[in-house]
Amino acid sequence: MRTLVIVPTYNEAESIRSIIDRIRRAVPEADILIVDDGSPDGTGGIADELAARDAHIDVLHRPEKAGLGAAYLHGFARAFEGGYEAVVEIDADGSHDPAELPAMLGLLESGPGDLVIGSRWVDGGRVVNWPWPRRAISRSGNRYARWMLRSSIHDLTAGFRAYRTSALRGLDRAVVSSQGYCFQVELAWRVESAGGAVLEHPIAFVERENGSSKMGPGIVAEALVRVTGWGLSARFGRGPIHREATP
Ligand SMILES: Nc1nc2c(ncn2[C@@H]2O[C@H](COP(=O)(O)OP(=O)(O)OP(=O)(O)O)[C@@H](O)[C@H]2O)c(=O)[nH]1
Ligand SMILES: [Mg+2]
């Protein structure tokens, strides 16, 4: 499958070279799109250098930090335009091991799968170097979302994924409006609710070594409020999730 690996970046100057090199080695046929939101630390310039040396690498520069969700939606639009059959989401900070990609893309192709999630919370999945409070928040947040949304997915917040591009059609800014963890929850849930096949592939998630997290309490709160709202409106018969698209 023609694959586009999308790598969103905001201040990842210390990590970007290494992650792109690892992705290139893991899936040499795939193209990579780095989506940088005007990182003040110069990540965008490093990305341009990498792209200048390698025809498989491209960079999308966005003027300012507008959140992970917006960056991915912009990247997905590029994947549609480019006729890619599969789209990968992966963090730039090294938490997700690109060596898992051949297995994940294999599952997507043979599954049949519409979405393969690199999952921490299925048998064989784990997190490395996370303090227990962070582990507890992710675990319990995922359990709550799974119950509230009546989903069968164990790691709804995971940011390491392979999608069949066709499963993302129609999911653009008019429909998907969440940002951080919630963006990932919303996308997985929408694919699942539309009848898409979702598979979970166990991964070891490794805490970032360089740079700092962009996820704060506001993003966790957004996820809690929205998941609760979606779950309640689904229960009270207002349909699963389908917000009216803005004209
Ligand atoms: N383009 C873009 N990328 C972003 C934005 N916010 C975060 N990212 C990138 O999205 C990925 C995930 O963000 P992280 O800060 O690592 O979030 P996290 O993995 O939940 O948090 P940590 O575990 O602490 O690293 C990283 O590659 C970030 O550089 C944004 O506003 N725009
Ligand atoms: Mg991270």
Lowest mean pLDDT among 19-23, 72-76, 170-174: 170-174
Q: Is residue 240 included in any domain, yes or no?
A: no
Pull the structure tokens for residue 227: 């998941």
Identify residue 15 by its one-letter amino acid code: S
Average pLDDT over residues 162-190: 87
C-alpha 93 to ligand 2 mean position (Å): 5
Pull the structure tokens for residue 137: 């928040």
| pLDDT tier at 170, thresholds 50, 70, 90 | confident
Q: Is residue 60 included in any domain, yes or no?
A: yes
In whole numbers, what is the pLDDT of the chain averaged over residues? Answer: 91
**CATH number of the structural domain spanning residue 170:** 3.90.550.10
Residue percentage of the chain with pLDDT more than 70: 95
Ion ligand 2: residues, Cβ under 5 Å: 91, 93, 95, 208
Average pLDDT over residues 125-152: 93
Verify whether ligand 1 is closer than 6 Å to residue 155 (CB atom): no
Verify whether ligand 1 is closer than 6 Å to residue 10 (CB atom): yes
Query: What pLDDT does 213 receive?
Result: 73
Q: Is residue 219 included in any domain, yes or no?
A: yes
Angle (CA) 143 145 236, round 5°: 130
Question: What 3-state class would DSSP assign to 32?
Answer: strand
Containing domain of residue 60, as a range?
Answer: 3-235
Q: Is residue 55 included in any domain, yes or no?
A: yes
Q: Is residue 243 included in any domain, yes or no?
A: no
Q: Is the peptide bond before 112 cis (omega within 30 degrees of 0)?
A: yes
Average pLDDT over residues 218-229: 87
Confidence check: pLDDT of 182 > 80: yes
Q: Is residue 183 included in any domain, yes or no?
A: yes
Pocket test for ligand 1, best of 10, 22, 130, 209 (most atoms within 8 A of CB): 10
Q: Is residue 70 included in any domain, yes or no?
A: yes
Confidence check: pLDDT of 214 > 90: no
Lowest mean pLDDT among 58-67, 115-124, 220-229: 220-229
Q: Is residue 244 included in any domain, yes or no?
A: no
Query: What pLDDT does 177 receive?
Result: 78
Cβ neighbour number for residue 118 with a 10 Å cutoff:
27
d(CA 136, CA 113): 29
Q: Whose CA is nearest to atom 28 of ligand 1?
A: 9
7: which strand partners? 34
| pLDDT tier at 243, thresholds 50, 70, 90 | very low
Pocket test for ligand 1, best of 34, 43, 61, 91 (most atoms within 8 A of CB): 91
Average pLDDT over residues 1-12: 97
Q: Of the ligands numbered here, which is closest to the C-alpha atom of 207?
A: 1
Q: In sequence order, which residues have a C-beta less than 8 Å from that of residue 24 and are 6 or more positions away?
A: 32, 54, 56, 57
Number of domains making up the chain: 1
Confidence check: pLDDT of 172 > 80: no
Query: What pLDDT does 220 receive?
Result: 81
Query: What pLDDT does 242 receive?
Result: 46
Query: What pLDDT does 238 receive?
Result: 56
